[in-house]
Amino acid sequence: MRGRQMKTALLLGIVLVFSFMMSACGGNNGGTAGKNDPKTETGNTGTTNENKPAEPMKSGTEEHEPVTLKLITWNNTYQELYDKFHAKYPWITIEVDLIGGADDNGIVERIAALEAAGTPADLTWLMDLSPYTKGGLLEDLKPYMEKDESLRNVKLPDGFFESMESGGKRFAIPFVDVPMWVLVNKDLLEKYGLEMPANDWTYDDFRSMAKAATDPAAGEYGLTYNPIFAGHFTTAMSVANGNSPNLTYMNEDLTQSVLNSPAVLSDVKWMKELVTKDGSLPSAKKAEELGGSVNNFVNGKTLFDIGGDWVLEPLNKEAKFQWDVLPFPKGKVKQSTYHIYGPIGMLAGSKHKEAAYLWISFQFELEAQKWKIDHGANASVINDELSAYIDQSPLWQGKNTSAVKLTKDMGSIAPGATIPAFSEYMWWQPWLTEVILGGKDPNGIIPLVEAWNKKTLQLRNGGK
């Protein structure tokens, strides 16, 4: 069980991670991740491409040769969106090439295998840009976007597209913004005489409520045994407390990890006390003793859990209690909720680049944005109609929609794609799971951070 949970923590941070994602790398260290001021994105910045793409194809009555786009992904839950895209562009079909997990090396190997077979893929999900840019595997999207009239008046968060740039080229775009929430069992709130917190609640509120709802004799605990508490939740708390400039414990310009700093380690130790002092967060050993009853929020045995789009629909179908969502609590400096950006890129070897770009452009149309809201993601596009749609979405009926709206703008974006060797840095998540839930010494992380910091700087400077 522990191995499975730790693996889940790693995949959730990398996957959908994207951690993703989103920062500046190589020579582009502007640190745009986590900025929240919106701007109008025109796509008209940057250099041109010698082989400029033709004007994107548009739907209409003209005839087109049928095109099948092969998309490499580790997630197979987007079929409805593929169907919506096909309805608009009936000559284009999305074919999913599903790989076993979020692993850039595995993706690169699949790309090479498909190229060798003469059936190259067209699009791919990814995490760390470096394995793709080194091999010239990704198409620069900037020239396509400069010609895309549909993006001219689309408003997006500041630095949204730039977060995927390296060396003046835009090798990927965030196609989904997945926020995380604190999940609340409202039946347990009532049982323990607790009120539903306001959206600006604090970490002290969170801790005291979790402790108040812990009754081992009843098999009930304040917090679900979930490695995300050790991973995503703790790093968001460190940002909110002002101890870490960016998520995943990255510094201001995303060149170094600060996970080994005394201030960050104090946040880790605070979280560990929920296990060792309060008893509100079951340890790995305790969760095993309880037979898994506290491993899943839907069991109704825990007050709080952490989750994103992957848990919302199952909760609506399976939970036998009233549940709701809250943003991550307010820290000493600000309130910061964890977001995952999911990058997608067009492969340079694609034989259908114009059609592949249409899929990328489609992500920012209202139809696609509403579909993502209906499935627990944020709308990336800043639009009054989309904000109002949150109240109409079947997924959010009867829920704390004000928290959903706030979460869109208060969160930090998990960096990753443009940071050299970022995928190698993802050991921090299972390590902290062992520290917080398993009893490992937090000070043991210091030499690991120092080694990775040295390697990522070497790679930035052209070393190996």
pLDDT digits (tens, 9 = 90+) for 416-443: 777 888 878 988 989 999 999 998 999 8
**Worst-scoring range by mean pLDDT, 160-174, 202-216, 404-418, 432-446?**
404-418
pLDDT on residue 79: 95
**DSSP 8-class letter at 18:** T
131's enclosing H/E stretch is helix 130-134
For residues 168 and 326, is the Cβ–Cβ distance under 8 A? Answer: no
pLDDT on residue 457: 93
CB-neighbour burial class of residue 322 (10 A; exposed 0-12, middle 13-18, buried 19+): middle
Residue 201 has pLDDT above 80, yes or no: yes
Q: Name the range with the highest mean pLDDT among 97-106, 158-167, 248-257.
A: 248-257
pLDDT by residue (tens digit) across 103-118? Answer: 788 899 999 999 999 9
Q: Averaged over 402-424, what is the pLDDT? A: 82
**Worst-scoring range by mean pLDDT, 113-122, 176-185, 405-414, 453-462?**
405-414
SS3 content of the chain, % helix, strand, coil (to 5): 45, 15, 40
Would you say domain 38-179+339-413 falls under CATH 3.40.50.1820? no
Q: Averaged over 255-264, what is the pLDDT? A: 96
Residue 462 has pLDDT above 80, yes or no: no
Q: Name the range with the highest mean pLDDT among 1-15, 235-249, 408-422.
A: 235-249
pLDDT on residue 184: 98
Q: Averaged over 246-255, what is the pLDDT? A: 93
pLDDT tier for residue 464 given thresholds of 50, 70 and 90: low
97 CB neighbour count, 10 Å cutoff? 17
Residue 243 has pLDDT above 70, yes or no: yes
151 CB neighbour count, 10 Å cutoff? 21
pLDDT on residue 239: 95
Fold (topology level) of 181-336: D-Maltodextrin-Binding Protein; domain 2 (3.40.190)
pLDDT tier for residue 289 given thresholds of 50, 70 and 90: very high
Residue 47 has pLDDT above 60, yes or no: no
Q: Averaged over 389-410, what is the pLDDT? A: 92
pLDDT on residue 460: 87
pLDDT tier for residue 337 given thresholds of 50, 70 and 90: confident
Q: What is the pTM of this model?
A: 0.80
69 CB neighbour count, 10 Å cutoff? 22
pLDDT by residue (tens digit) across 57-91? Answer: 555 546 789 999 999 998 888 999 999 999 999 99
pLDDT by residue (tens digit) across 2-24? Answer: 333 333 333 334 333 333 333 33
pLDDT tier for residue 160 given thresholds of 50, 70 and 90: confident
- Alpha carbon separation from 123 to 52, 68, 342 (Å, rounded): 19, 11, 13
Residue 27 has pLDDT above 50, yes or no: no
Copy the structure tokens of residue 415. 């960096």
How many residues does this entry show for the chain? 464
pLDDT on residue 58: 52
Could you tell me whether strands 169-170 and 165-166 are parallel, antiparallel, or unpaired per DSSP bridges?
A: antiparallel
* Nearest alpha-carbon partner for 311 in 398, 224, 231, 392: 224
Q: Provide the terminal-to-terminal Cα distance of the chain, rounded to the nearest Å.
A: 37
Residue ranges covered by each domain of the chain: 38-179+339-413, 181-336
Residue 37 has pLDDT above 50, yes or no: no
Q: Averaged over 394-409, what is the pLDDT? A: 91
pLDDT on residue 234: 95
**Worst-scoring range by mean pLDDT, 103-107, 151-155, 217-221, 313-317?**
103-107
pLDDT on residue 133: 83
Q: What is the C-alpha to C-alpha distance for residues 398 and 209, in angstroms, rounded to an integer? A: 23
* Nearest alpha-carbon partner for 28 in 419, 423, 345: 419
Q: Look at residue 68 and give its three-state secondary structure.
A: strand
pLDDT on residue 62: 63
